[in-house]
Chain A
Amino acid sequence: MLKLLKEIFRTGEATVKYPFAPMPVCKDFRGKPEHRAEDCIACAACTVACPANAIQMETDTAAGTRTWSINYGRCVFCGRCEESCPTAAIRLSDDFELAVGSKADLTRKAVFSLAECACCGKAFAPAKEVDYVARLLSQSARSAEEADRLRLTVSTCPACKRAQDVHQIARMGIGRQMNKELETTP
């Protein structure tokens, strides 16, 4: 009996104190993905990376908004979103207490506004993304004019860029040059 008691005291208590005391988690624990919407540029890299489609994005060009949403109920805590985020806006935190009574509480949303094309005025990409890319490019631009040109290029929608390319090619007169070549070649 005494021997048993001694053994028990020697072993101590194995049970964690969890609900009454905070639970320490190990380093690199992958808990709830924490999204800092202030740093997010709504580039949709995380939505592409997410294998479970927990992170989704909906673009509403009529209202000029893009809505980012995460469903913690569908998340598999793989951390691909954290890996792919260019601005480190999404981070897997230590938080694991995610149980909820209603399913609506499992989703989190962030609404971003869309930028208008510098040419045609139609909404085409999130304003924050356009601004971020423009600043990033002007950081490595050689001169102020180049920075301005780059800023104009990134704030033009793909359709307008294509149209401008066509105009430029027409101005260069490739057809005329080709005809000339054909005339001169025997």
Chain B
Amino acid sequence: MALERRVVVTGLGAVTSIGTTVSEFWNNLLAGVCGIRPLSLFDASTYRTQTAGEVSEIPDGFLSPAEKRRMSRADRMGLVAAEEALSQSGLDIGAEDPTRIGVILGGGTSGLLDSEQVYATWLRGGRGRASRVLNHLPDAITDRVAQRFGLEGLKSTITTACSSAANAMGYAYDAVAAGLADVMVTGGSDVLARLTYGGFNSLRSVDPDPCRPFDRERRGLSIGEAAGILVFEEEERARRRGAPILAEFLGYGVTSDAFHMTAPDPSGTAGARTVRAALDAAGRNPGDVDYVNAHGTATAQNDSAETAALKAALGDRAREIPVSSIKSMIGHCLCASGAIEAVATVQTVREGRVPPTIHYENPDPACDLDYVPNESREVPVRVALSNSFAFGGNSSVVVIGRYS
């Protein structure tokens, strides 16, 4: 293996519908607070559903009015989370070699909310404001983070739909482990937009009420928005500088289902391949795993396929450990979901507390694991998995462990 260096997490940042700092988000996760509410960001009255995990206020007071005007909502959320994560890490970037610090994020909707409006104007024959399309592509957030913090290392943006942020963390891990960088700011920021809201509705995949992962009566997902940022750092230097080491990023698995653009392999065979690839890469066994932060979208297909995948890959261990979906509280944050769920998973490993799956009432014979229904639980967690499955069959599982 050329990936010889260990990678630890030294900072976290979160902006979600149930909290715009990590501690607020985490406390509300443990308390089972639901952030899925009536959508206000655009007029949803003509859509099939009207609820979403919307962030009500972005605490971006540190940005000037001119900066805010140039930025998309996703930029601002990403910068708030990055500010929190870098601040926790205690990195003094001015005293570091900026060429050894990079940014790799997952992104998708980016400035779409603005460019949708410009496009609507064009379709009506108008001109629209050019500045509103500048942030259309997802790489804008990555460049903004590097710009704000003066980072000069490798930059990349991964767009693999709902596994974007998980793959971004994987690439960031590779870069640090292989020595291409010493520190990586990673994760993702993704916001509500008409395209994705209308898209999942057109597929009849959205529950009009807050979603119910793994429940027999589940009727689809809830869409959310979030920014989750993690600071990855080479372990020895983190230790040397006395950084807060929150957890270790042990590795990841990334595979193709090669099955279907939108449907998971119902047998769980494809998902099990990803889980096995992740454990292999991390050098861990099913018996080491104490918790799974599930993809758990609450679509009929995902939850049963994911359950089958966990049973196939972890064997008996799957029935012994808690498996929960925080999408029941914040919705599916699409290209940022892997990041915000990794933030929750790091917290789980640190504190030995597992967030619940809320809205869970009716057991489903096809979903027969311990989903931590409705109440958080104290469980010592040595190693946790966080699953992300996406359109295109782009599946990724990250492995996060207690640092020792």
Does B bind A? no
- Residues of chain A touching chain B, judged by Cβ–Cβ distance below 8 Å, are none
- Residues of chain B touching chain A, judged by Cβ–Cβ distance below 8 Å, are none
